[in-house]
A and B are shown apart, each in its own frame.
Chain A
Amino acid sequence: MAERKKSFSVLLNGLIKENPTFRLLLGMCPSLAVTTMAKNGLGMGAAATFVLVGSNLVISLIRKIVPDKVRIPAYITVIATFTTIVQLLMAALLPEINKQLGIFIPLIVVNCIIFARAEMFAQKNGPFLSVLDGLGMGAGFTLAITIIGSVREILGAGTWMGIPVTVNLFEPAIMFILPPGGFLVMGFLVALFNKLTNKKDRNAECETGCGVGCPGCSKAVNGGEA
């Protein structure tokens, strides 16, 4: 029973409490760059989730065999392999979305969410929990960038998933699909997310030395931003 409860909380962790984009502030580069449309956010999120689950699984399987010394090159090799696989699959099956996301698919290799989860979670946990962590974190990332994409697309282009929704209620403000709009929307959403999540919970987390997920505490995370 306790085991089941733990798996569940690992899965949910990435969605809200340690949402990679809104709470851990990891992977800012794709979160700002590809979120001009809701559809791009969804595609990018799905690709990153695939890489996260795959690399978490393999890394947790080989964590006891790989010596500490060559840990980082070995993990990067695993992550790069899954990224290339996802790129090939998207080019074969979803050429349209692949064209839209362009350079950001290969850049998943240096997306620090993936490496941070490898170092902080998969290296210390078994394959089952690591896969759940990958799924949860991936879902949290997908949710976050799809929300950012939706807000920017609706305000900036008057459409959602390419369908016109504002019916000329207001003139779309192009700025929202340009880079400044990305920063603005991101800032407001992080503020809103912090307001909505439990305040008590946040304080408790900080007393115990920032919990496991705080990006400032892990030596591996800081160098990894794309």
Chain B
Amino acid sequence: MFKEIIKPSLILFLVCAIMTGALAYVNSVTKPIIDENNIIAEQESLKNVYNDADNFLDAKTAEELKSEGIDVGDNIEKIYTAQKDGQSVGYVVAVFSSGYGGQMKILVGIDNDLNIEGVSLTNHNETPGLGANAADPKFTDQFLGKAPETTYNVVKSVPNNENEIQAITAATVTSKAVTKGVDEAVALVRLMAGGA
């Protein structure tokens, strides 16, 4: 009885207990560093799409906005307020969109006059060499400047109008997904900035 059941259980219990102790120790050492890394990474990715701002307020989630009576699109994750010299100058919107390789996360920096300050893909699973090129400034810089009154149009030739975005060759699904995300972000900021 002892040899068959109790002894193996006790030893397994001991092994687990010691290993858990070791993990708890490593976690206590690394957790503050990891948290700090995440905050730095977040601030940097925000700065990336809104270079002009010097401070970003804590984000409001889509639920919080809804409870304030603002009509939020389904794919909005959260919205940060961008500040410069203590004044609110615009927003950074985190929005999800369905690409070719699943959900991707897009950050869009928009100022109060609805000028696009920057677009970046922070998380995606698009095909390397094809859809992944959507993260390239060559593609995302097409959005910079005044946002259109309605929505962007994805075209396959060289764009003629301000609101036309040239799709990446062999990655139309990705191009359309990014564009849809930016459209949704613009729509939200248009509401927040009071229809300016």
List the interface of chain A (C-beta within 8 A of B). 36, 62, 65-67, 69-70, 73-74, 77-78, 80-81, 84-85, 88-89, 91-93, 95, 156-157, 172, 174, 177-178
Contacts and interface: CB of A to CB of B under 8 A. Distances in A.
B9 interface: yes
B70 interface: no
A interface secondary structure, majority: helix
A117 to B, nearest CB: 18
Given A174-B129, A177-B128, A178-B128, A84 B23 contact: yes
21 contacts: A67-B8, A69-B8, A70-B8, A70-B9, A70-B12, A74-B11, A74-B15, A78-B15, A78-B19, A80-B19, A81-B22, A81-B23, A88-B27, A89-B30, A92-B33, A93-B33, A157-B128, A174-B129, A177-B128, A178-B128, A178-B129
A81 B19 contact: yes
B31 to A, nearest CB: 8
A191 B16 CA distance: 42
Contacts of B65: none
Contacts of B33: 92-93
A65 B14 CA distance: 11
Q: Which of B9, B12, B127 has the most chain A CB within a 10 Å cutoff?
A: B12
Contact of A73 (B7, B12, B37, B129): B12
A62 B19 CA distance: 13
Interface in B2-42: 7-9, 11-12, 15-16, 19-20, 22-23, 26-27, 30, 33-34, 37, 41
A70 B9 CA distance: 8
Nearest to B17: A77
Contact of A65 (B11, B20, B27, B34): B11
B57 interface: no
A66 B30 CA distance: 30
B76 to A, nearest CB: 24
A81 to B, nearest CB: 4
Interface string B117-142: 00000000001111000000000000
Contact of B11 (A67, A80, A157): A67
Q: Which of A62, A73, A89, A92 has the most chain B CB within a 10 Å cutoff?
A: A92
Contacts of B129: 156-157, 172, 174, 177-178
A122 to B, nearest CB: 14
A78 B9 CA distance: 16
A77 B19 contact: yes
Contacts of B23: 81, 84-85
Given A77-B16, A157-B129, A178-B127, 15 more contacts: A67-B11, A69-B8, A70-B8, A70-B9, A73-B12, A74-B12, A74-B15, A78-B15, A81-B20, A81-B22, A84-B23, A85-B23, A88-B27, A92-B30, A157-B128
